[in-house]
Chains A and B, each alone.
Chain A
Amino acid sequence: MREAPRARPSRDPLGLRRALADRLLVALVAAMALLAALALAGRAGADRLAERWRAGAAAAVTVQVPEPSPERMARALAVLRGRAEVAAAEAVDPERMAELLRPWLGGVADLPLPGVIEVRLADLGADPQALGVAVAAEVPGAVTEAHGVWVAHLTALAGAVQALAFGVLALVAAVAAAVVGVAVRAGLSARRDAVLVLHGLGATDADVAGRFARRAAVLAGAGAAAGAVLALPVLALLAALAGPLAGEAPWEALPWMDLLLLPVMAALVAWLATQATVRRWLRRLP
């Protein structure tokens, strides 16, 4: 009988440390994590810009009515609301206008201000110039400004970028799962005899799949962490460029939580993909 227990029992009966190609898998997952980090940053940036622009684009078109008597304002509103391309037209409260202008003009009570009507277009492709001509014909002196249309276009573009980022993320996750599946199938081929021995010794599918899945999850998590770290300088540069547009400090613009979650999500995708691959392989055995 031995006197002292062995200090280091093997925790890797399948020899997966050598069978699952660690460098290649880690490198591939790191590359995909880098892409995912860029997509996440793009999504986060587009999200912030869209939110900021959306507020500015509350009125795609504004109409200014000099000498804003109730009749002139009512006529202008009637013209606007009667046109098909207009979704909504609302007069801005004069008190709110005065409040908005107070920092620049001070509290001059009798200063003549134009009436302002905010117009939302039903279709951003509509011609705001035609709208301005129609209003000016009924209410002489009325001026139409359509700079908000551009903001609305940018907001729509930001939304498209967000959707695209989600698509890229889904694609990256799918490719990562496929890469892990290929690596695991290669590992199963390399360790076929060992898997059969464990199966014969009474290992359950969960035992065998769990060993592969833990190894794949660790490798994918490490790869994703490396990819996230590699993405940081690129993201910092982009954040510095976008800072003036987003109105916040560059480091604030980085998607820190997404970057921290990236290794966790990569590990989860790898774990699920490996479980599915190994269990499918084991189903061939009795």
Chain B
Amino acid sequence: MPRAGGHNSAMVRFSRVALAYPDARGRPGPEVLRDISFTLGEGSFTWILGPSGAGKSSVLRLMQAALRPSAGEVELLGVPLSRARRRDLPPLRRRIGVVHQEFRLLSHLSAWDNVALPLRLARVPEARVQADVAELIEWIGLAGKEDRRPEELSGGEQQRLTLARAVVTRPALLVADEPTSELDARQARRTLALLVEMNRLGTTVVVATHSEDLPGRHPARMLMLEAGRLVGDA
């Protein structure tokens, strides 16, 4: 039975979810996720753990509305993915912040413009963009480096920039895929602190990692995956 993690409103609900990526001919390939069910409550912090290939990234991609389940149902912020119309997904994605392991910053834009991008896509007035981005740049400790391109920043700085871009719209759900795997211990601690701070401010946070140390630094609910199955929920 899925549990709500002690929180009232469900932000993410997986119900008997299976996922199979299509092969080169567009036919469903082998299942990478099987019979996965859980619920994440509003304001919760959840670790998704498991070895490489366990299916963590696939679960997170479903949580980003970047995929639809092959079977079962994924409900994000009350929107059922399998039944949602294509035009309903962009507004949903704007309410979900994503931190990628490989950063995915736009190399031709400055640090400032990378952070401002989600606000401009949401057609937020430029005066508010200026204020919000300035605040976040300050928050992640990149003040004075806002005109630099991503490749001119260190790995840790790029990861914090990715985090700033993910939270600049004040998303209801923040999803991070191996956010510290490319960082040294000091930068990893700093990134984790920012994630925890976002959760403290009310954002539902989900972090996937294969690290065994990271969850120990911030005890929270842990979903354990193995070979595409949910094998533990603690």
Instruction: Write the residues of chain A forming the contact surface with B, with a CB cutoff of 8 angstroms.
Output: 1-2, 5-6, 9-10, 12-13, 15, 18, 193-194, 196-204, 207, 286
Whether B89 pairs with A286 at a CB distance below 8 angstroms is yes
> In whole angstroms, how far apart are the Cα atoms of A18 and B83 in the complex?
39
**Cα distance A198–B117 in the bound complex, in angstroms:** 8
Q: Which residues of A contact B135 (CB under 8 A)?
A: 1
Contact A9 B91 (CB under 8 A): no
Main secondary structure of the interface of B (DSSP, over half): helix
Number of A-B contacts (CB under 8 A): 74
Say whether, besides A1-B134, A10-B110, A15-B108, A200 and B64 are in contact (CB < 8 Å).
yes
Q: Which residue from chain B places its CB closest to the CB of A204 in the assembled complex?
A: B90
- Cα of A205 to Cα of B165 in the assembled complex, Å: 21
B129-A202 in contact (CB<8A): no
A202 and B106 form a contact (CB under 8 A): no
Name which of B90, B109, B134 has the most chain A CB atoms within 10 A of its CB.
B90
B134–A13 CB distance below 8 A: no
Q: Is the interface of A mostly helix, strand, loop or mixed?
A: loop
Cα(A198)–Cα(B165), bound, Å: 12
Among B68, B93, B110, which residue has its beta carbon within 8 angstroms of that of A200? B93
- Whether A202 contacts B130 in the complex (CB less than 8 A), given A193-B104, A286-B66, A286-B67, comes out as no
Q: Which 5 A-B pairs have the closest CB atoms?
A: A202-B94, A202-B93, A15-B108, A2-B134, A5-B130
B113 touches which of A5, A10, A193, A286 (Cβ 8 Å): A10
A13, closest chain B residue (CB):
B117
* Residue in A9, A12, A203, A286 whose beta carbon sits within 8 Å of that of B129 in the complex: A9
Whether A194 contacts B106 by the Cβ 8 Å rule is yes
Contact B67 A13 (CB under 8 A): no
* B47 interfacial contact with A, CB 8 Å: no
Residues of A within 8 Å of B106, CB to CB, are 13, 15, 194, 197
B138 touches A1 (CB 8 A): yes
Question: Which one, B3-11, B29-37, B119-127, B201-209, is touching chain A?
Answer: B119-127
- A200, B66: Cβ atoms closer than 8 Å: yes
Q: CA A17 – CA B92 in complex, angstroms?
A: 30
Closest residue of A by beta carbon distance from B87: A204
Binding site for A on B (CB under 8 A): 64-68, 86-87, 89-94, 98, 104, 106, 108-110, 112-113, 116-118, 120-122, 126-127, 129-131, 134-135, 137-138, 143, 146, 165
Alpha-carbon separation in the docked complex, A197 to B99 (Å): 11
Chain A residues within an 8 Å CB radius of B134 = 1-2
Chain B nearest Cβ from A156, distance in angstroms: 54
B122 touches A202 (CB 8 A): yes
Min C-beta distance of A122 to chain B, whole Å: 61
Let me know if B113 and A203 touch, CB within 8 A.
Answer: no
Decide: B109 and A5 in contact? CB cutoff 8 A.
no
Distance of A267 Cα from B229 Cα, bound (Å): 53
24 cross-chain CB contacts under 8 A? A1-B135, A2-B134, A2-B143, A5-B130, A6-B146, A9-B113, A9-B116, A10-B110, A10-B116, A13-B106, A13-B109, A193-B104, A199-B93, A200-B66, A200-B93, A201-B165, A202-B90, A202-B92, A202-B94, A202-B121, A203-B121, A204-B90, A286-B66, A286-B86
Cα separation A6 to B130 with both chains bound (whole Å): 7
Q: Please determine whether B109 and A2 come into contact, CB atoms closer than 8 angstroms.
A: no
CB of B51 to closest CB in A, whole Å: 25
A198: chain B residues at CB < 8 Å are 117, 121
Q: Find the A residue at minimum CB distance from B92.
A: A202
* Partner among B91, B109, B143 whose Cβ is within 8 Å of the Cβ of A10: B109
- Are B121 and A201 in touch, CB under 8 angstroms? yes
A240 to chain B, nearest CB (A): 50
> With contacts A15-B106, A201-B121, A286-B67 known, is A2 near B94, CB below 8 A?
no
Which residue of chain A has its CB nearest to the CB of B91?
A202
Q: Are A286 and B68 in contact (CB-based, < 8 A)?
A: yes
Collect the chain A residues with CB atoms within 8 Å of residue B138's CB: 1-2
